[in-house]
Structure 1
Amino acid sequence: MTQPSIILSDVNARQSVFHRRTFLLGGAIALGVSTLAGRLAYLQLAENARYAKLSTSNQFNFRLVPPPRGLITDRNGAILATNRPNFRLLYARQKDQDPEAMVATLANYVPMDDQRRQRVLRDLGNAPRNTPVAIMEDITWEQFSAVNIRTTELPGVTADMGEVRVYPHGGAFAHVIGYVAKVNKEDITETGPNAEPIMLHPGFRIGRQGLEKALDLELRGRPGAQKVEVDARGRQVRLAPGGDIPATPGKEVQLSLDMDLQLRGLEMFGEESGAAVLMDCESGDLLAMVSAPSFDANRFVRGLGGAEYRALAEYDHKPLFNKALTATYPPGSTFKTLVAVAALEHGIDPDMTVNCPGYWTFGNRRWRCDGVHGRTSMHNAIATSCDTYFYIVSLQLGPDKIAAVARRFGLGQAYDLGIPGQKKGLIPDTEYKRRNFRRDPVWHPGETPSMGIGQGYTLVTALQQCVAAARMANGRKALVPRLIRSVGGVPKPDAAEAPDLGFDPAHLAFVREAMGAVTTRGTAARTGQIGLGDIRMAGKTGTAQGYNYNGGRGVHGTNGPWHLRDHAWFVGFAPHDTPRYAVAVLVEHGGFGAQAAAPRARDLMRLALLKDPELRGRIERPPAAVSVADSRDPAQGGPA
């Protein structure tokens, strides 16, 4: 039997391979252990702060907090728009949760009709998951408590305290300030301020109308953050002490308006529809800008129901419409003062007289006049509002000369007040006719007399009428109205830099004196006096046709259907000898200006004069003997 032989060289070779492999494997293990140890040491020592922060972020999160919206005040610091605390109910849609069932459950704690439920479900569908949606604002303390003690049974539901915009004076400033409302999908953009995450917060509101919309970015402020403890799914467990980032409030906006005058302006309209604007003849500040009837802006902040909105939108007095800036009307006889300035500037003798038998015949038409004025000069024609005189004078001037003067008085233009939606109105001329009437582009002579008494194509706003009256009263500067006095404490420019008006001062003085006669022995003699010692108000009444009288449509005066009646105007200024304030009042379908508009202008002007500390001393002095400035006794005409 053969015995196996052992070859020492094979044994040595195998041991060499084993040792080499053992060495390599040991080296690899040692390298791995060293790397692991080094990495662990790096994480423990060098990266300790970073991972501690990440660990904390898994436990804590920051919840955005909307900033307090900036205050809006009047010229004296009275609050016109502010914020107040409110309890609200929020719900963030969770995974594998039926929103309809949850909303139905919440209806047991807060009142929700079917319309609100549908709106809430729509908002939940549009919002990202885990983003809170407001179920109800301004819930009571009892409702707030009832939800809070059941939070464990209502996943995703929270009841907290936020802030809501409030307008202390309801509708008095609604058309000027506007209101705020919830953010819609259309409001969110990919870039810019409207792309910030705060836009998705249920308590955040943006401006919808008026100054709230125009100055939205200035009023917003900067959001803050509240530190909260969260669970593994990112849901809030409790508030965490410390670490909150305070929000930065929005800028405060101060307006030129006077709260007392604005409130009085709205009150004096009662159930009537119209507008009133009061302006400082020295600074250009707007002290009142009223549109009546108005609406309660607080209702829009909370969310207006469909039926309530339709009631406002369909009411024939149009409470949602800003009649001071957006609505345009024929100026009627108030326009005659500007025609008179144009006549004087182009050399027409103010002592020239025309005969007014109560009508004027031109072409194949008889043009009527309210009253029989006999031989009438320019002064008396303004005082008694004689249409016949201005038919003839306007025909001598032509539309272009009249339009040029009217524009220099501020008609036919918009002003930078910060409120969107302002209309320019229309001051027509031959170029307007050529540009807009292709079939008949020629201005016919028969169209000029209508323009001469503020009818025809001519359309103005109540703001423009007040600007024209203020420029007439000032006599030197082409005043520009100012509504915003300051934003964040930075003043806005006033009328100090206004350009020169550029008319002969003697011509303006003549028209102002004639406007003074309107309220002493003219069309507004019974209602235009303000009863403040020797202070008088000068002005001009106007009755503007809303419809043509032909075919029995229009109604002259206050008889007949409201929507067919004439519009009533009054423009004026006071004191007559040293003008300080100008006023324009429109009563929509109010009938005669002397009866509907002049008394309201008088009431508003009285309050403005009584509030002026410089004029109070003059008012309180014993009245001096009244001298008769003009002994002429013009034929009294009908109301205009």
Structure 2
Amino acid sequence: MPQTAIYFSDVNERQGAFHRRTFLLGGLAGGGILALATRLGYLQLVESGRYQKLAASNQFNFKLVPPPRGVILDRNGVVLASNRPNFRLLVRREEDLDHEATLKTLANYVPLNPERQARLVKEIDRSPRRVPVQVMEDMSWEQFSAINLRAPELPGVVADMGEVRVYPHGGAFAHVIGYVAKPIREDIKETGPNADPILLHPGFRIGRQGVEKAFDLELRGKPGAQKVEVDANGREVRHDPDGDIPAVPGKPIQLTLDVDVQTRAIEVFGEESGAAVMMDCRTGDLLCLASAPSFDANRFVRGLSGPEYRALANYERRPLLDKALSGLYPPGSTFKTITALAALDAGIDPDVRIFCGGGWHFGRYFHCHKRGGHGPQTMRDALKNSCDVYFYQVALRIGPDQIAKVAKAFGFEQIFDIGISGQKKGIVPSREWKRRYYKKNPANQEWMPGESLSYGIGQGALQVNALQLAVMTARLANGRKALNPRLIKSVGDQVLKAGSDVPDLPFKREHIDYVREGMAAVTEAGGTGFRASQLGLGDILMAGKTGTAQVRNYTAGGSRGKGGPWKYRDHGLFVCFAPLDEPRYALSVIVQHGMGGSTAAAPRAREIMRVALLKDPEIRARIEQPLPMPELPPEGEVDIPDPPSVIAPDAAPDTPIAAPPGAPA
């Protein structure tokens, strides 16, 4: 019979199993403690700065501060665009605030009509959270103080002092400098400089035209930040000035323009429409780039209402158009200088006389501006008298391609790198241009000989702007260099290249001198610009060329006098340079629908030129030289007149005293 057996484990075996479990559990516990210690050390030593910032961000916040926009100066350091203090009223969008009620409360302290309040409510609702919306600017001190005194009662409302752009000279530089405006939705990008959050700030502005737009990034600077303590809801409690990050102002930009010359140009135009451009004949610097009538750029900074903008846009003299760069006009007789130089370059003898009888038959009758005619004319005579018949025949002989070659060499149909946009290149016709222009109409591609006649006197398809006319005149006056215009003198500390760093003109100096002599004859006695171009500055003389450009064909009838509608009147043009012996300044003036270069443009050019000459120290010293003393006769030959005799009242004269002319007998 089997017996039951009981087996007992070995004590050593059980002891070993216990030790293995102990070591395993101990290792796991030790690893966990080590991991916790490592993590704790990492958080306290490595990540301490990050968590300190996160903790501080719950208590403090940074408000972006727009940088001061860079100033714009003229050639002598006169401020053309700067910044001024501005008391602003702002409202932030917050979820738990009734913005409509807030605006109604604010209307008790500042003028806010119901329509304005409704627009602001929509703007606040569309704005990002905690991004303030500007309710009012240029508040008075009383309004600013009243809002700040009630700040605890007005959550989400901020009254602070910022900066706003100001243009001290109003509209004199509006087309050149442009203006700034609040960024719109299309301006804000996901990448690039326009992705900066500062664009959402209500006090930030970007350039919209002219220098303000072309150099917007340089003028912006870098935004700063203001450290403020906030509560649990993110509302400001106090300002911590020690933690502020200062903003970096934008770079200053210096122009080559002269504030006195530019202002005088706007003054002399008055209510007339047109442009004036002045260049330094030695360096290419632009002293004047004026377009009239102009507009006040300060009004655009604050924002125009719809009716105000439509009034400017619909005015027939178009104050919003930059006529110096974007306005295209036929140059009229001012272009005869180019036709003359093209003829000399083609080998035409300038001393050969061409008879002018008041017009010339070529297919039809082409009139000269002097109905009775000028008689026999050399090239110099034709420039002096602006004889159309002479240039009709010369242009027909040399052809359009020769004229186009010279015109392009003197700056026509070119866009110059002056730093700002808006230039229109115009049209310089040629045979190749006509084939290209009429490529869809082969019947009109051939250049007709009669077109050369109008081309030679600056009419037809030829279109130029005032800047190109000034460049042409400056290159003629310089006589050697193909000068380029320069508008931006420096950006910050960087000085831009001068316009005189260019190659020479590809024409004989004697030919250019001959044309200059013809321009000098225009302002001599008997010339078309004599009366209106006398400077009255001693021996400082001016050379020039008048021009009248038709804007329509008068064969269809209608009056071409001043009594007709303004938009149908001819343009008046004048180009000139001075002094005649040592040219310093070249000027072009276009008076839109001004009816005559000698009557409308030349007098205005004279006044603008006088300002530039009188501001030039060397020219002024030359003008102010004392007159030579009169020569005295040799000693001993001086005749001393006898003293006048005195007749006693009661004595009768020996001879009767003649009565003055016209006195009664």
What's the TM-score once normalised by structure 2's chain length? 0.87
Q: Tell me by how many angstroms 1:364 deviates.
A: 3.2
Q: Which residue of 2 aligns with 1:385?
A: 386
Q: Tell me by how many angstroms 1:63 deviates.
A: 0.9
What is the 5 A alignment of 1:197-596?
Answer: 197-371=197-371, 372-437=373-438, 438-439=440-441, 440-521=444-525, 522-553=527-558, 555-596=559-600
Question: 2 CA distance for matches of 1:209 and 1:380?
Answer: 45
Root-mean-square deviation over aligned CA pairs = 2.7
Question: 1 CA distance for matches of 2:103 and 2:278?
Answer: 50
Question: 1 CA distance for matches of 2:47 and 2:354?
Answer: 99
Q: Which moved more, 1:70-79 or 1:91-100?
A: 91-100
Write the deviation string for residues 458-483 of structure 1: whole angstroms up to 9, x where unpaired: 01100100000000000000000000
Does the 8 Å CA contact 1:277/1:585 hold for their aligned counterparts?
yes
Question: 2 CA distance for matches of 1:389 and 1:624?
Answer: 44
Write the deviation string for residues 105-124 of structure 1: whole angstroms up to 9, x where unpaired: 33332223456445534432
Q: Tell me by how many angstroms 1:44 deviates.
A: 5.4
Write the deviation string for residues 598-630 of structure 1: whole angstroms up to 9, x where unpaired: 0010111111111111111221225699xxxxx
Question: 1 CA distance for matches of 2:46 and 2:491?
Answer: 50
Write the deviation string for residues 268-290 of structure 1: whole angstroms up to 9, x where unpaired: 11111111011100000000111
Q: CA 1:592–1:118 in structure 2 vs 1: closer, same or farther (change >3 Å)?
A: farther
Write the deviation string for residues 563-612 of structure 1: whole angstroms up to 9, x where unpaired: 11100000010011111100001111111110000001011111111111
Does the 8 Å CA contact 1:336/1:390 hold for their aligned counterparts?
yes
Does the 8 Å CA contact 1:80/1:169 hold for their aligned counterparts?
yes
Matched residue SS, 2:612: helix
Matched residue SS, 1:496: coil
Question: 2 CA distance for matches of 1:503 and 1:459?
Answer: 23
Question: 1 CA distance for matches of 2:38 and 2:505?
Answer: 85
Q: Which residue of 1 aligns with 2:636?
A: none
Q: CA 1:377–1:24 in structure 2 vs 1: closer, same or farther (change >3 Å)?
A: closer
Write the deviation string for residues 262-309 of structure 1: whole angstroms up to 9, x where unpaired: 111111111111110111000000001110111111111111111111
Q: Which residue of 1 aligns with 2:638?
A: none
Q: CA 1:33–1:340 in structure 2 vs 1: closer, same or farther (change >3 Å)?
A: closer
Q: CA 1:118–1:374 in structure 2 vs 1: closer, same or farther (change >3 Å)?
A: farther
Question: 2 CA distance for matches of 1:141 and 1:82?
Answer: 22
Question: 1 CA distance for matches of 2:319 and 2:475?
Answer: 30
Q: Tell me by how many angstroms 1:31 deviates.
A: 8.4
Question: 2 CA distance for matches of 1:478 and 1:312?
Answer: 38
Question: 2 CA distance for matches of 1:90 and 1:402?
Answer: 62
Unmatched tracts of structure 2, length 5 or more = 1-7, 9-14, 630-665
Q: CA 1:556–1:232 in structure 2 vs 1: closer, same or farther (change >3 Å)?
A: same
Matched residue SS, 2:532: coil
Matched residue SS, 1:495: coil
Question: 1 CA distance for matches of 2:520 and 2:394?
Answer: 21
Matched residue SS, 2:228: strand
Does the 8 Å CA contact 2:540/2:579 hold for their aligned counterparts?
yes
Q: Tell me by how many angstroms 1:525 deviates.
A: 1.0
Q: Tell me by how many angstroms 1:524 deviates.
A: 0.9
Write the deviation string for residues 337-377 of structure 1: whole angstroms up to 9, x where unpaired: 11000011111111111221211111133434334211111
Matched residue SS, 2:474: helix
Write the deviation string for residues 116-142 of structure 1: whole angstroms up to 9, x where unpaired: 445534432432111111111111111
Matched residue SS, 2:242: coil
Question: 2 CA distance for matches of 1:126 and 1:515?
Answer: 64
Unmatched tracts of structure 1, length 5 or more = 1-8, 10-15, 626-640
Does the 8 Å CA contact 1:557/1:590 hold for their aligned counterparts?
no
Q: Tell me by how many angstroms 1:252 deviates.
A: 0.7
Q: Which moved more, 1:176-185 or 1:118-127?
A: 118-127
Q: Tell me by how many angstroms 1:241 deviates.
A: 3.3
Q: Which residue of 1 aligns with 2:634?
A: none
2:263 partner letter? L
Q: CA 1:404–1:40 in structure 2 vs 1: closer, same or farther (change >3 Å)?
A: closer
Matched residue SS, 2:469: helix
Question: 2 CA distance for matches of 1:31 and 1:373?
Answer: 114
Does the 8 Å CA contact 1:533/1:622 hold for their aligned counterparts?
no
1:520 partner letter? E
Q: CA 1:32–1:599 in structure 2 vs 1: closer, same or farther (change >3 Å)?
A: same
Does the 8 Å CA contact 1:534/1:624 hold for their aligned counterparts?
no
Matched residue SS, 2:460: coil
Percent identity over paired residues: 62
Q: CA 1:501–1:310 in structure 2 vs 1: closer, same or farther (change >3 Å)?
A: same
Q: Tell me by how many angstroms 1:225 deviates.
A: 0.8
What's the TM-score once normalised by structure 1's chain length? 0.91
Question: 2 CA distance for matches of 1:253 and 1:150?
Answer: 42
Does the 8 Å CA contact 2:325/2:467 hold for their aligned counterparts?
yes
Matched residue SS, 2:145: helix
Q: Tell me by how many angstroms 1:224 deviates.
A: 0.8
Matched residue SS, 1:226: strand
Does the 8 Å CA contact 1:520/1:528 hold for their aligned counterparts?
no
Question: 1 CA distance for matches of 2:522 and 2:122?
Answer: 60
Question: 2 CA distance for matches of 1:38 and 1:288?
Answer: 73
Question: 2 CA distance for matches of 1:35 and 1:368?
Answer: 104
Does the 8 Å CA contact 2:484/2:500 hold for their aligned counterparts?
no
2:226 partner letter? Q
Q: CA 1:23–1:293 in structure 2 vs 1: closer, same or farther (change >3 Å)?
A: same
Question: 2 CA distance for matches of 1:354 and 1:27?
Answer: 118
Q: Which residue of 1 aligns with 2:637?
A: none
Q: Tell me by how many angstroms 1:505 deviates.
A: 0.8
Q: CA 1:217–1:41 in structure 2 vs 1: closer, same or farther (change >3 Å)?
A: closer
Q: Which residue of 2 aligns with 1:161?
A: 161
Q: CA 1:26–1:445 in structure 2 vs 1: closer, same or farther (change >3 Å)?
A: closer
Question: 2 CA distance for matches of 1:365 and 1:187?
Answer: 57
Q: Which moved more, 1:143-152 or 1:427-436?
A: 143-152
Matched residue SS, 2:577: strand
Matched residue SS, 1:138: coil
Q: Which moved more, 1:35-44 or 1:527-536?
A: 35-44
Question: 2 CA distance for matches of 1:463 and 1:45?
Answer: 67
Q: Which residue of 2 aligns with 1:637?
A: none
Residue 598 (structure 1) aligned to one of 579, 598, 602: 602
Matched residue SS, 1:276: strand
Q: Which residue of 1 aligns with 2:170?
A: 170
Q: Which residue of 2 aligns with 1:6?
A: none
Say whether 1:133 aligns with 2:102: no
Question: 1 CA distance for matches of 2:380 and 2:167?
Answer: 47
Matched residue SS, 2:572: strand
Q: Tell me by how many angstroms 1:164 deviates.
A: 0.7
Matched residue SS, 1:158: strand
Q: Which moved more, 1:428-437 or 1:172-181?
A: 428-437
1:496 partner letter? S
